[in-house]
Amino acid sequence: MTERVKTGIKGLDEMLHGGLIEGRPYLVSGGPGAGKTILCMQFLMEGAKNKEKGLYISLEEPAAELKKDMVSFGWDLQGVKIMDATQEAGSGIWLLKTDSVMSKPEFNVTNLIKVINDKLVEYKPKRIVIDSVTSIRLLYERKTDMRRDLLSLINFLIKSGCTTMLTAETGSREGNSLMEEFLTSGLIKLHSIETRGERISAVSVDKMRGSDFDRHIRPMKITNDGIVVFSSESIFE
């Protein structure tokens, strides 16, 4: 069996039958506050532990805020490069603070691929996170244009050879179907479930090309050490 890429969350790696498959893109979906960002950071830090550099591309949360959140877990983020690609309040213009040749470029997928490519050459990461692709979706009026551009982004990520996590925010309007699910190699879903008047967090693997996986929804918790998944427990007692 080929070597798996560990997410760094033990219970989740068990659900994935060892981890992710190297070089492929995965989607992490969930509602606001579900733990998507935390999960992705754990994935990058796990790589950093093994001398695999990680690149985190923030499309929503300013880098300073993100670092503050992560420091509260006691994480120093050594070996993780954060690229702040947030936009100026919905203007479609980047706040990008890099030495990139583009000054105040328009925020679109073509430019995003360009700046990621610069970082790949310069920094040589093995793991990439794009958090979140929901900001990309908002750029489009036509679904066909969005699909074409998301597909070119995902194909670019596959060609990079890096193992990638993309996050997507699911809301009440969205329903259950995200186009990104069909374009990525796997889907990790974070849930918030109400049982007997109590809200519990849970995680499921809904798709994993090229591998078997645990098909149960498993309880999880956000603790002071990050996300913990209880891979042998059920959410239904």
Ligand X SMILES: Nc1ncnc2c1ncn2[C@@H]1O[C@H](COP(=O)(O)OP(=O)(O)O)[C@@H](O)[C@H]1O
Rule CB under 5 A: is residue 37 a binding residue for Mg ion? yes
CB atoms within 10 A of CB 142: 8
CA dist., res. 220 & res. 200, Å (int)? 8
For residue 30, the partner it binds in ligand X, Mg ion, none, with Cβ less than 5 to 8 A by kind, is ligand X
Tell me whether residue 30 or residue 219 sits nearer to ligand X (CB atom): 30
Rule CB under 6 A: is residue 144 a binding residue for ligand X? no
Number of residues that bind ligand X (CB under 6 A): 12
For residue 31, the minimal CB distance to ligand X (Å) is 7
Tell me whether residue 21 or residue 133 sits nearer to ligand X (CB atom): 133
Binder to ligand X among 10, 33, 49, 182 (CB under 6 A)?
33
Binder to ligand X among 34, 128, 187, 208 (CB under 6 A)?
34
CA dist., res. 191 & res. 144, Å (int)? 28
Strand, helix or coil for residue 192? strand
Q: How many helices (H) and strands (E) does the chain have?
A: 7, 11
CA dist., res. 48 & res. 80, Å (int)? 7
For residue 184, the minimal CB distance to ligand X (Å) is 17
For residue 11, the partner it binds in Mg ion, ligand X, none, with Cβ less than 5 to 8 A by kind, is none
Tell me whether residue 21 or residue 190 sits nearer to Mg ion (CB atom): 190
Q: What SS3 string covers 121-190?
A: HHHCCCEEEEECCHHHHCCCCCHHHHHHHHHHHHHHHHHHCCEEEEEEECCCCCCCCCHHHHHCCEEEEE
For residue 40, the minimal CB distance to ligand X (Å) is 8
